[in-house]
Amino acid sequence: MRVEELDSPTLTIDLDALDENLDRYQRYYTEHGIGLRPHIKTHKTLAIAAMQMAKGAIGLTCQKVGEAEVMVSGGLAVDILIPFNIIGKPKLERLMALATQTRLTVAADSAYTVRGLAEAAEAAGVTLSVIVEVECGMNRTGVQTPQEATELAKLIDKSKGLELRGFMGYPTPPASRPIIQETVALFDKAGLSREIVSGGSTRYAFEAHQIPELTEYRIGEYPTGGEGHLRAGRHTVEQCSLRVQATVISKPTADRVILDSGSKTMSASVFQAPHGPSMGYLVEYPDARFYSSSEEHGHVDVSACAKKPEIGERVQVLPVHPCPCVNEHDAIVAVRKGVVEAVWPVYARGKIR
């Protein structure tokens, strides 16, 4: 079956582009002696996770316990990091069960999280690996200073049931190196383990070597690309492997076409493109502006296009943010040279717990 024969909208991934992306990034990390720990939250599939491991990844990153459960139950009982504060009895019990099935490490940024992990580990008779998250510029989670990171590491180190393994940051641009260096120095001074110094973000993926203290790197979007990566020059159009096969279903004016792919297909994510807000990039119409969407309609301004798409025409759209886009779909259709080779269930879709 050819890709054009798939009903629309359908999410597809180009296998040649995927393979090239996986190789290109793995090669960089191998060359620099940094462990690559892909974040599966982007693709949410067992198929791509298995490919990443086969290419040389040291393990996987999962953002929620449910994602890690999918990986382990799908045969990928590999070294897994969950860089998330896991809180509350139901999830802690599931976490301890997982820890008996695979090499598991979680992150913490508070004494509250650490105490919960320690109590659950002791109750389950499990030794759980923990790293500290330190603020590196995201202003999301993470203790605020290397000093606080060291204090929290000491608490982990002395907690029964827990094993301190190091620390992490997100994102870790080269400018964050002083924080990482200071944390390393303080950990060393206190005699704390830092076998894991974990950085992350596809945006800075090829700058990881500028922070030699890093032992591993977490990146999610490199297999797929997307409009942001395209416009930043990190992926060519060809390297943007993930695409929504969409259809023009209306052309109410000469300059506006409506796609059958709205926020329920693309996700509601918005990218600030040079021309303004964008909800997707039309491969065949680079001058088109996907400026807005409703749940089931994509609103596209084609005034700048020399040739304009017509009703019934099929177009390929790059998502602006691949992770939530994939989360809208139950399956990704894997295509090579325009021919369907496989249908991959998005097994880790919707794992919010």
Q: What residue ranges bind a second copy (CB under 8 A)?
A: 7-10, 41, 63-64, 84-88, 90-91, 109-110, 112-113, 116, 135, 139-144, 247, 249-253, 256, 258, 260-261, 263-265, 267-270, 294-297, 299, 311-312, 321, 323-324, 327-330, 350, 352-353
Give Dmax over CA atoms of the chain in angstroms.
Answer: 69
Comparison of 20 and 313: residue with beta carbon closer to a second copy = 313
> Minimum distance between the CB of residue 45 and a second copy, rounded to whole angstroms?
16
Beta strands in the chain (DSSP E): 10-14, 35-36, 60-61, 80-82, 104-108, 128-133, 162-168, 196-200, 216-218, 242-253, 256-259, 271-273, 276-278, 281-282, 289-293, 298-301, 314-318, 331-336, 339-345
Separation of alpha carbons 300 and 291, rounded Å? 6
> Minimum distance between the CB of residue 71 and a second copy, rounded to whole angstroms?
16
> Minimum distance between the CB of residue 191 and a second copy, rounded to whole angstroms?
26
Residue 332 C-beta-side C-alpha neighbours within 13 Å: 30
CA–CA distance from 349 to each of 9, 70, 94, 218, 323 (Å)?
18, 10, 18, 20, 10
Rounded to 5°, angle at Cα 120 from 117 and 122: 105
Per DSSP bridges, beta strands 256-259 and 298-301 are: antiparallel
- Closest by CA to 134, choosing from 178, 91, 103, is 178
Instruction: Please tell me what DSSP assigns to residue 134.
Output: B
Comparison of 14 and 135: residue with beta carbon closer to a second copy = 135
> Minimum distance between the CB of residue 91 and a second copy, rounded to whole angstroms?
7
Comparison of 24 and 115: residue with beta carbon closer to a second copy = 115
- Residue ranges of alpha helices (H) inside 32-110 are 46-55, 65-73, 89-99
- Which residue has 């060519």 as its token pair? 236
Comparison of 56 and 324: residue with beta carbon closer to a second copy = 324
Comparison of 337 and 353: residue with beta carbon closer to a second copy = 353
Separation of alpha carbons 15 and 172, rounded Å? 29
Comparison of 26 and 321: residue with beta carbon closer to a second copy = 321
Comparison of 87 and 304: residue with beta carbon closer to a second copy = 87
> Minimum distance between the CB of residue 59 and a second copy, rounded to whole angstroms?
19
> Minimum distance between the CB of residue 54 and a second copy, rounded to whole angstroms?
26
Comparison of 29 and 290: residue with beta carbon closer to a second copy = 290
> Minimum distance between the CB of residue 38 and a second copy, rounded to whole angstroms?
15
> Minimum distance between the CB of residue 113 and a second copy, rounded to whole angstroms?
7
Comparison of 14 and 328: residue with beta carbon closer to a second copy = 328
CA–CA distance from 23 to each of 11, 38, 49, 198 (Å)?
22, 13, 13, 21
Instruction: Please tell me what DSSP assigns to residue 51.
Output: H
CB 143 within 8 A of CB 135: yes
> Minimum distance between the CB of residue 163 and a second copy, rounded to whole angstroms?
22
Rounded to 5°, angle at Cα 221 from 292 and 277: 20
